Structure 1
Amino acid sequence: MTTAVDLPEPLVHPFAPAGRRDPYPAYRWLQTHAPVHHDRFSGMWLVTGHAACAALLRDARFSAALGQRERARDDRLPVSMLTTDPPDHHRLRAPGGLLLGPAALRSVAGGLRQDVDTVLSGLAARGGEPDAIEDLGTPLATAVFGRLFGLPPGEHAVFTDLARAASVNLDPMAPPAQAARGRLAASALTHYLDAHARALAERGDRTSPLAALAADGRLERHEMLGILSLAVIGGWQPLAETVGNGLLWLLPEGRAVRRRIAGDPEFARTCADELLRLEAPIPFAARVATESVELPGGRVPAGARVLAVIAAANRDPAVFEDPDRLVPDRTPNPHLAFGAGPHFCLAAALVRQVLPALLARLLTRFPDLRGPDLPPSFEPTLVPRRLTAFPLRLGPSDAPEPTEGP
C-alpha cells in the first residue's frame, strides 16, 4: 500500500491557502514522487497522474455517490447524475440529454450565436476596461442558460443573482458560514426553477430544452429539479470562469494564432480544448473506493476517499509534451477537464460549442484585444479555479456585427 508523503521545502501544499494560487509545482512533484498517495492535509488519497486519473474515473469500483457524501460539509446534494452511480446514474442521465444533449443544442444553436454577439455588443458599449469574468464570462453564461431554460431577458438579472449565490456549493471545503448561505441559495434556486418550469407548462411552451426535460415522464419532480440545479451549480460559474481562464493564456499569443481562431472553426475548437486543459475550472473529481484497487502508480485501499486531481493530470508530462505551455493546435489532446467514464460532463458539448464561437467572434471584433499589464492572480479557492480579476483593453472594433461564425 502507498504511504503518506510530505512535500519538500519550499513547495506549499496545493490545498493550503498559499498554495492554491499556483498548485502546479506541487502537483508536478507529486506526479514524479507519489502519484497515488494518502494526503495528511486533507485526509484523502490524491491521484495526480493522467493514466491513474483516467483509470479511476472509468472504474466502477470508485463510487461518485459516496464521493459526494464524503464531502467536508454536512449538507446533502440534490439527487442528480453527480450524486448517483449506475444504474441510477444512467436512468437520470438519459433524460438529462433533453437539456444538454445534441438535439437540444441544435435547437438553440442559432440563438446561442446571437447571444454571443449580444454579449460582445454590450462589452463594446461598456467602454473602459471591462472585466473578462464579470463583463464577458458571466453575462455569456447567463445568456446561454437563459436560452436553454427559456428565460426571458427580463429574468436574467434574477437568475444571475441566484446562480452566483448557489455556486458556493461548488467548493466542498467552503467555510461553514459560507456553506450555510450556499445551502439557502441552492434552495432558492430550486424553487425559482420549479416555478419557472410550471409557468412554461401552463403556457403550453415546449420549445426550450428545460420545458422538454420538465415534461419527461421518466423523472420524479425532485429528480428533474436536481438535474436543473446541477446544470446551474456545476455549469454556470465554470462556464463564466472558463472565459477568463482561457483569455489569460490566449491573449499573449501572436496575431497569426488570433487570425486563425477567427477564421478557422476547427482550429478554434482545437484551441478551446487546449485552454480547458491548461486551466480547468473544476480541478478535481471525488470518489470513494468500494474495494482495494491497483492504479498506475499505487494501490488505494477499500473505503479510501479519493480525489482524481484533474488539474495535475492535464499537465502530466508523460502524456502532454510541453505540458505547461499553450499549444493551440495540440492533437491529440486527451485532457480530462470534462472527466471521463460514465460521469463524463453532460455539458461538454455545450462548452465545446459556445467557447470556440465566443473566441472567434471576440477576436474578429477586437483583433487588438489585450489583457492587463500586471500578472493576474487566482482566488485562493479550491473550486472553481478562478481569477480575481482580468481587465480587458479592447482596442478598435474592426467588425461590430459579425454574421457568420463557427
Structure 2
Amino acid sequence: MAVTFDPTDDAVLRDPYPLFTEMRAAGGVHWSEPLAGWVAVDWASVQTVVTTPQVFSADRMVQILDRLPEPRRTTAADVLRWLSLWMVFQDPPNHTRLRRHLASVINPRMVESLRESTTRIVTDVLDELPKDEPFDFYTRFGLTVPGYVVMDLLGVPRDRLAEVKQWSDEMMLFIGSARGVEDKYGRARHGAHSMAELFRGLIEQRRAEPRDDVLTRMITSTVDGQTLTSDELIASMMMIANGAQETTAHLFSNGLLALQATPDVARTLVADLDGLVATAVEELLRFDSPVLSAGRLVASDTELGGQKLRAGDRIFAMLAAANRDPAVFDAPNELRITGRPNSHLAFSKGVHFCLGAPVARLEAQIAFTELLTRFPNLRLAEPLESIPWVNSLVARGPQRLPVLLG
C-alpha cells in the first residue's frame, strides 16, 4: 500500500517523522489525495522546490479562486486582494522589488539594535509568569515575546496584540489550515479587513508625523525611485505580523519539548549557555522545524523525485521532513547541539529565505538563555500525549503547552 500524507490524522500532526521516514524510503515525492497535491519529503527535492521559482511558483493564491464555488469565491477574493501583495506569494521580478524594500529596513544593523529591548521583553514576561502553578507556556511566553517584539517594530500599541493575533489566526485559516475548518473564508476576510483598517491608520499617522522607526523607514524606502504603495505597505505589515509571532512561538515550544525529551542535552546546554546557545538554536530549528511546509504551484511540466508533475499541480515542500533526511544529516533523529554541520531548511532557502530569520534567531537565543538560567528544572505539567497539535500545513507545534517552572 502506498504511503500518503494525511494532515487530518492527529498522530501525523503530533509526530510526522516516522511517516516521513517511511515516505522517503519509498521515494522523495508522493501524491497526497487528502491534499490533492504532491508532497516532497527528501532534502534534495525540497531544496529544488524552494530554490527554483521559475518551475515551482510561489504565486499560488489566484488558483484558489478557480477551485471555489460562489459565494465563497467573492469572500475569498476580498482576502486575496491582500495576500496577492505578500512578498512570500510572489515570484521574481516583483518579489525582488518588494524584498529590496523590506531588506533595506530589516537588516543586520536593525536586528542587533533589538538585542537590549528583546532581552528586556523576555525578562519582563518571565517575571510575570506564575512560579508555583501550571500555565500555558505557548500563549503566556511563546506568543507574547515575539508578539511584543513585532508590535514594537510596526508601531502597534502592545495592548492591541491579542486583537492582531486573532486577526492573524483568521487569515491563516485561508492559507495554512488543513481542511474541515468551518467558515474559514469568512473568518479570513474579517481578519484581513480588521488588520488593514488598523495598519492604514498607523501609516497615515507616520506620514503626518514621521519617526525614527521601522514603519517610517518602510514608508520612505525607495527602490529605483519608487516607494511602496499604500496597499503594499499594509500587506507587508500583515505579512510581518503574521510570520513573526506564531512560528517563533513554535520554535520556543518545539525546542522546549526537544530539550525535555533529552535531559542530557539540556544539562550540557545549561552548563555552557553562552557558548552553546547559538548552535543549540540551529539544532532545535532542524530537529523540529516550527514551519512544516512551503506550498508551491508547478509552473511547467517537470520531473521531481521520480514523479512526473504537471503544470498547475500543487506541491508541498516538507521542510520538517528535509531536516531529518539521513542523506544530509548524520543520525537525524538525534538532538545534537555540538559537532553537527547544520544546513537545515527551517527558514527555507533561495529567494524566499525568511527575511525575519535573524530576528527569530535573536529572540530564541535570548529566550532559551534566560529561561534555562532561571528555571533549569522547568517541566511539563501534563502528559505529552494529551496535548493537541496545530492543524496547519504551515505552522508546526502544540496548540498549548502546560508547564511548571519549578
- TM-score interval for Structure 1 and Structure 2 normalised by the shorter chain: 0.7 to 0.9
Residue from 334, 341, 352 that aligns with 2:343 = 334
Listed as ranges, the matches of 1:383-398 within 5 Å are 383=393, 384-395=395-406
Aligned to 1:109: 115
CA distance in 2, matches of 1:330, 1:253: 17
Residue from 220, 229, 232 that aligns with 1:223 = 232
Confirm or deny: 8 A CA contact 1:283 1:310 kept in the other structure. yes
TM norm structure 2: 0.86
Confirm or deny: 8 A CA contact 1:169 1:179 kept in the other structure. yes
Q: Tell me by how many angstroms 1:92 deviates.
A: 0.2
Residue from 329, 348, 352 that aligns with 1:320 = 329
Confirm or deny: 8 A CA contact 1:169 1:233 kept in the other structure. no
Output the amino acid matched with 1:36.
V
CA distance in 2, matches of 1:275, 1:378: 20
Listed as ranges, the matches of 1:34-45 within 5 Å are 34-45=27-38
CA distance in 1, matches of 2:2, 2:362: 42
1:373–1:159 distance in 2 versus 1, CA, 3 Å: closer
Confirm or deny: 8 A CA contact 1:262 1:268 kept in the other structure. no
Q: Tell me by how many angstroms 1:215 deviates.
A: 2.5
Residue from 282, 290, 293 that aligns with 2:291 = 282
Q: Does residue 15 of structure 1 match 2:7?
A: yes
Q: Tell me by how many angstroms 1:176 deviates.
A: 4.7
Q: Does residue 149 of structure 1 match 2:159?
A: no
Aligned to 1:6: 2
Q: Does residue 232 of structure 1 match 2:237?
A: no
CA distance in 2, matches of 1:370, 1:260: 16
Output the amino acid matched with 1:243.
F
TM norm structure 1: 0.86
Alpha carbon RMSD of aligned pairs, Å? 2.5
CA distance in 2, matches of 1:370, 1:178: 35
Confirm or deny: 8 A CA contact 2:250 2:290 kept in the other structure. yes
Q: Does residue 357 of structure 1 match 2:366?
A: yes
Confirm or deny: 8 A CA contact 1:58 1:342 kept in the other structure. yes
Q: Tell me by how many angstroms 1:392 deviates.
A: 1.4
Q: Does residue 25 of structure 1 match 2:36?
A: no
1:391–1:360 distance in 2 versus 1, CA, 3 Å: same
Equivalent position SS for 2:30: strand
CA distance in 1, matches of 2:291, 2:201: 29
CA distance in 2, matches of 1:297, 1:269: 37
1:169–1:105 distance in 2 versus 1, CA, 3 Å: farther
CA distance in 2, matches of 1:21, 1:103: 38
Aligned to 1:370: 379
Residues 130-139 or 237-246, more deviating: 237-246
Q: Percent identity over the alignment?
A: 26
Output the amino acid matched with 2:404.
R
Equivalent position SS for 2:380: coil
CA distance in 1, matches of 2:61, 2:116: 36
CA distance in 2, matches of 1:113, 1:251: 23
Give aligned pairs, total: 385
Aligned to 1:86: 92
- Structure 2 gap segments, 5+ residues each: none
Residues 288-297 or 75-84, more deviating: 288-297
Output the amino acid matched with 2:113.
S
- Structure 1 gap segments, 5+ residues each: 396-406
Output the amino acid matched with 1:391.
P
CA distance in 1, matches of 2:115, 2:84: 29
Q: Does residue 379 of structure 1 match 2:375?
A: no
Q: Tell me by how many angstroms 1:298 deviates.
A: 4.0
Residues 190-199 or 371-380, more deviating: 371-380
Aligned to 1:293: 302
Aligned to 1:399: none
Q: Tell me by how many angstroms 1:171 deviates.
A: 1.6
Residue from 106, 109, 115 that aligns with 1:100 = 106
Aligned to 2:55: 62
Equivalent position SS for 1:357: helix
Q: Does residue 49 of structure 1 match 2:42?
A: yes
Output the amino acid matched with 2:335.
L
Equivalent position SS for 1:307: strand
Q: Tell me by how many angstroms 1:261 deviates.
A: 4.7
1:392–1:186 distance in 2 versus 1, CA, 3 Å: same
Aligned to 2:202: 196
Confirm or deny: 8 A CA contact 1:265 1:356 kept in the other structure. no
Residues 324-333 or 362-371, more deviating: 324-333
Output the amino acid matched with 1:238.
T
1:103–1:68 distance in 2 versus 1, CA, 3 Å: farther
Output the amino acid matched with 2:135.
P
